[in-house]
Amino acid sequence: MKNYLLLLLPVVALLASGCPIGLDQPLGKIGTEKIDKQLVGKWHSTSAETEVQRVSISKRDDHSYKAKVLERGEMYSLETDELTGWVTTVNEKNFVFFKPDGEEKYYHYCYWWDGGSTLISCDLALLDGGVDAVTSTESLRDQVARSMTMEEWGKETTEWNKE
């Protein structure tokens, strides 16, 4: 079975249990990669500690999603519940990144499937050079690729079930 990892934000920060970091750069080139249709639907977190408890992800077009937070967690910090999302791949792992409506930061998550209608996500951890090493999409992709080789990367995950 092919592993799919992801970075999501509110929607997946929504999906993730840690605190997502807003970055100025997207992990992929917006408008170039087709969406993963498996992400479309309503999802709920199995953890009471996630920033987002329930989220709806729908197709905006062939290359982007519309995400709406349906239920916020206690630590939810965005000003809006509506986001636009995109997918990309780094080293054969799947990522999703979201930009909240009215904001300039991108939030990233890695995702994969454990079978059926269960989605697993983790925050985008930059374990090599950290946020300070990110100055462009290319440097972000490099930092993610380097971080993915480290043992700690992807250890804290969140499980999401499709409604």
Beta bridge partners of 107: 98
Side chain identity at 61, as an amino acid letter? Answer: D
* Cα separation, 34 vs 62, whole angstroms: 6
Number of Cβ within a 10 Å radius of residue 76: 16
**Residue 60: which of 25, 23, 11 has the closest Cα?**
11
According to DSSP, residue 10 is labeled: T
pLDDT at 19: 54
Tokens of 121: 């996500």
pLDDT at 20: 63
Along the 163 residues of the chain, how does pLDDT read in single tens digits?
Answer: 333 333 333 333 333 334 567 899 999 999 999 999 999 999 999 998 899 999 999 999 999 999 999 999 998 989 999 999 999 999 999 999 999 999 999 999 999 987 778 999 998 889 988 999 999 999 999 999 999 999 999 988 999 999 9
* Cα separation, 107 vs 96, whole angstroms: 8
Element at 140 (helix H, strand E): helix 137-148
**Residue 107: which of 26, 4, 43, 6 has the closest Cα?**
26
pLDDT at 123: 87
Tokens of 141: 């992709």
* Cα separation, 163 vs 153, whole angstroms: 28
User: For strand 64-72 and strand 118-123, is the pairing parallel, antiparallel, or unpaired?
Assistant: unpaired
